[in-house]
Amino acid sequence: MKLIEGKKIAEEILSEMTGEVNKIRSSGERVPHLAAILVGNDGASETYVNGKVKACERVGFHSTLIRLPETLSEKELLEEVGKLNRDERIDGFIVQLPLPGHISQQNIIEAISPLKDVDGFHPANLGRMVLDMPTYLPATPYGILQLLERYEIETNGRHCVVVGRSHIVGSPISILMARNAYPGNCTVTLAHSKTENLREITSAADILIVALGKANFITSDMVKEGAVVIDVGITRLPSALSKNGYKLFGDVKFDEVAPKCSYITPVPGGVGPMTIVSLMKNTLKSYFSGISKNRA
Ligand code: NDP
CB 218 within 8 A of CB 257: yes
pTM of the model: 0.95
* Catalytic one of 119, 206, 231, 251: 119
Residue 226 lies in a domain: yes
Known catalytic residue: 293? no
User: Within this chain, do residues 157 and 246 fall inside the same structural domain, yes or no?
Assistant: yes
According to the model, what pLDDT value does residue 294 have? 43
Please give the chain's pLDDT, 296 residues, in tens.
Answer: 999 999 999 999 999 999 999 999 999 999 999 999 999 999 889 988 999 999 999 999 999 999 999 999 999 999 999 999 999 999 999 999 999 999 999 999 999 999 999 999 999 999 999 999 999 999 999 999 999 999 999 999 999 999 999 999 999 999 999 999 999 999 999 999 999 999 999 999 999 999 999 999 999 999 999 999 999 999 989 988 888 888 999 999 999 999 999 999 999 999 999 999 999 999 999 999 865 444 33
User: Within this chain, do residues 91 and 155 fall inside the same structural domain, yes or no?
Assistant: no
Residue 294 lies in a domain: no
Report whether residue 107 contacts ligand 1, using a CB cutoff of 6 Å: no
What CATH number should be reported for the domain holding residue 34? 3.40.50.10860
User: Within this chain, do residues 173 and 82 fall inside the same structural domain, yes or no?
Assistant: no
Distance of alpha carbon 233 from alpha carbon 165, whole angstroms: 13
User: Within this chain, do residues 105 and 168 fall inside the same structural domain, yes or no?
Assistant: no
Distance of alpha carbon 153 from alpha carbon 132, whole angstroms: 21
Report whether residue 210 contacts ligand 1, using a CB cutoff of 6 Å: no
**Boundary (domain end) residue, out of 112, 130, 165:** 112
User: Within this chain, do residues 102 and 193 fall inside the same structural domain, yes or no?
Assistant: no
User: Within this chain, do residues 171 and 83 fall inside the same structural domain, yes or no?
Assistant: no
User: Within this chain, do residues 100 and 154 fall inside the same structural domain, yes or no?
Assistant: no
Residue 278 lies in a domain: no
Distance of alpha carbon 239 from alpha carbon 279, whole angstroms: 30
Tell me if residue 117 falls in helix, strand or coil: strand
Known catalytic residue: 106? no
Cα(69) to ligand 1 centroid in Å equals 27
Distance of alpha carbon 72 from alpha carbon 80, whole angstroms: 11
Residue 280 lies in a domain: no
What CATH number should be reported for the domain holding residue 202? 3.40.50.720
Residue 120 lies in a domain: no
According to the model, what pLDDT value does residue 293 have? 44
User: Within this chain, do residues 264 and 182 fall inside the same structural domain, yes or no?
Assistant: yes
Report whether residue 213 contacts ligand 1, using a CB cutoff of 6 Å: yes
What phi-psi label fits residue 181: left (phi over 0), alpha (psi between -120 and 50 degrees) or beta?
Answer: beta
User: Within this chain, do residues 161 and 244 fall inside the same structural domain, yes or no?
Assistant: yes
Residue 97 lies in a domain: yes
According to the model, what pLDDT value does residue 291 have? 53
Count how many domains the chain has: 2
According to the model, what pLDDT value does residue 211 have? 98
* CB-based burial label for 13 (10 Å; 0-12, 13-18, 19+): buried
User: Within this chain, do residues 36 and 160 fall inside the same structural domain, yes or no?
Assistant: no
Domain that holds residue 41: 29-112
Nearest CA to ligand 1 atom 24: 166
User: Within this chain, do residues 108 and 145 fall inside the same structural domain, yes or no?
Assistant: no
Residue 18 lies in a domain: no
Backbone CA torsion sign across 150, 140, 166, 184: negative
Report whether residue 236 contacts ligand 1, using a CB cutoff of 6 Å: no
User: What amino acid is encoded at 294 in this protein?
Assistant: N
Residue 128 lies in a domain: no
User: Within this chain, do residues 164 and 220 fall inside the same structural domain, yes or no?
Assistant: yes
